Structure 1
Amino acid sequence: MDTPSNPAARAVAEPAALGWRLLALTYDCLPMIPLVMITSAVFLWMNGGRTVEQSPGLGVLELAVMWLLAGAYFTVSWRRGGQTVGMRPWRLMVLATDGKPAAWGALWLRYLVAWLTPGICLLWTLVDAERRGLHDLAAKTMFVRLQPPAKPAS
């Protein structure tokens, strides 16, 4: 179900524009705030009330834990329903290029490439004919906007 070439698929979903991606990403920052705060509080407690700057090794561990927790949020959301909290209001979805739910490995690869190429991965959507980011190309996924449900006939 590659949306650009399949007319039936285009009736249901189309590649999402950069603006929709940015709206979803902004909205997805909201669940990240408590995640970061709780993780920081746990590491502050583990370090006897001292900040991790005073313990560089612990700081690296804290960042790794935050990265994994954020990755779990995104990949589990994408795998369970194709959407994060930030994607739902705008009917956005991550799918494999065949239109099926993406595999776990592909979703973690998508997340990793997005973090390794911040900004660039999204800007790539402006030059790709199918609006895929670098992370979508690497993971063989697509980020689509679903058409609104049909209104019932009155």
Structure 2
Amino acid sequence: MPKSLPKRPSKAATKSKTQHHPSMQQISDEEPTIAKPTTRVVAILYDGMLILALLFLVGTALTVIGTLLTMETGTQSSQAQSLPTWYQNVIMTPSFVLTLVAFYGLFWRRGGQTLGMQTWRLKTVNNSGHLLTWGQSFKRILAACLMPLLFGIIGSLIGGSRALLLTSAFLGLIFNYVFCLFNRRGLAMQDMLSNTITLKMPKVAHEGLWRGFKNRKKNQ
């Protein structure tokens, strides 16, 4: 006589086995944690490429407009002139700042994530766990620029060269995240100054950027 086939486990038994299996429980029990500085820096590098492209487009458009409005155009390269200092300080610099604020503010308000942050499952929220307002976004950006600005001023006072200024400002940016290593909660400088926080989201709770946009729109 042929041997009887083994009985299939019931759905209830399979569910019970899944619930008690430690490797399956690990994903469901995972919770958001404060993002590590290395992950945050990598996400910034991702976003940096897009930001540089946006700033280049804005700068090119403003340069063309400024040249047409404030300068006499020649026909030879030797007749080329630089834009007036007042135009660079009053028009171009604020436009670059507004571009930066608009980039981060739009993404933080809609889904809490930029494109680079989405890649690494990072999400920025306020201390209550809600998405940032425009005011909170602006405050966080200013807080993130504080140390690069201070380091840049120190660098300009020491050497005065453009290269030293940029290097000093970059060191100030890195300082924001080195600060995480000395803060007992792992917060960056801009987190503390703006009362916001960047979290590393678990896979089960991770929400895609465009889905976050749609959900934000539904809740409004």
Name the TM-score, length of structure 1 as normaliser: 0.82
5+ residue gaps, structure 1: 1-9
Residues in 1 aligned to 2:40 and 2:115: alpha-carbon distance in whole angstroms = 13
Which stretches of structure 1, 4 residues or longer, exceed 6 Å deviation after superposition?
49-52
Deviation at 1:103, TM superposition (A): 2.6
* 2:144 matched residue in structure 1: 114
5+ residue gaps, structure 2: 1-28, 72-79, 149-172, 206-220
Given that residues 66 and 83 in structure 2 are in contact (C-alpha distance below 8 angstroms), is that contact kept between their aligned partners in structure 1?
A: no
* 1:98 matched residue in structure 2: 128
* Secondary structure at 1:132 match in 2: coil
Larger Rg: 2
* Secondary structure at 2:123 match in 1: strand
Residues in 1 aligned to 2:199 and 2:59: alpha-carbon distance in whole angstroms = 34
Aligned AA for 1:59? Q
* 1:28 matched residue in structure 2: 47
**Highest RCO, 1 vs 2 (Cα 8 Å, sep ≥ 6):** 1
- Alignment size in residue pairs: 141
Aligned pairs for 1:10-89 within 5 A: 11-48=30-67, 53-60=82-89, 61-89=91-119
Name the TM-score, length of structure 2 as normaliser: 0.59
Aligned AA for 1:86? G
Measured against aligned partners, the alpha-carbon deviations of 1:23-77 in whole angstroms (never above 9, x if no partner) come to 1100001211221121111122112277884411111121210111111100111
* 1:140 matched residue in structure 2: 195
Given that residues 101 and 137 in structure 2 are in contact (C-alpha distance below 8 angstroms), is that contact kept between their aligned partners in structure 1?
A: no
- RMSD over aligned CA atoms reads 2.1
- Structure with more of its chain in helix, by fraction: 2
Aligned AA for 1:104? W
Residues in 2 aligned to 1:141 and 1:47: alpha-carbon distance in whole angstroms = 38
